[in-house]
Amino acid sequence: MTAINIFPYRPTASTAAGTTTIEHDFTVPAGKRWLIDYVEVEFGTQAANNTVDIQTNASGSYLNIWEQLASFKKLGVDLAARYPRAVELEAGDVLRCHYVRGTSSTIASALHIMERDV
């Protein structure tokens, strides 16, 4: 049986001033498979025109796997509540947090995953 590692994936953060669109990409390493249960997204400042899309390219192009989130400071998205077996990605697949900032605030993302060898 292959090893299963349960750990929150390293969080990412961006502080680039003046940039309105920022993407945090989490790529599944070669020889691995991820089950993603929970995604955390955060803005340094809550504003109505700050949005984030949670997307994956597993179908070949980036598509939202959750409706757009707006006007929040910190939010946790429980993917397992919508997808019975969570979201499963193969080696090379990407989970993307696509941020659009209306204010020049910091942003952060974190994934909580189970990773296993294939």
pLDDT band at 7 (very low <50, low <70, confident <90, very high): low
On whether the CB atoms of residues 66 and 77 are closer than 8 A, the answer is: yes
CA 112 to chain CA centroid, Å, is: 9
- Region 68-81: mean pLDDT is 91
**pLDDT tens string 45-64:** 888 888 999 999 988 899 99
CATH of domain 4-117: 2.60.120.1330
Distance CA 48, CA 27 (A): 29
Q: Distance between CA atoms of 19 and 80, rounded to whole angstroms? A: 32
pLDDT tens, residue by residue, 64-73: 999 999 989 9
Mean pLDDT of the chain: 86
pTM of the full structure? 0.87
Q: How confident is the model at residue 84 (pLDDT cuts 50, 70, 90)?
A: confident
pLDDT value at 22 more than 60: yes
Burial (CB count within 10 angstroms: exposed 0-12, middle 13-18, buried 19+), residue 77: buried
Domain boundaries, the chain: 4-117
Question: Does position 3 have pLDDT exceeding 90, yes or no?
Answer: no
Residue from 70, 95, 84 nearest 9 by CA? 95
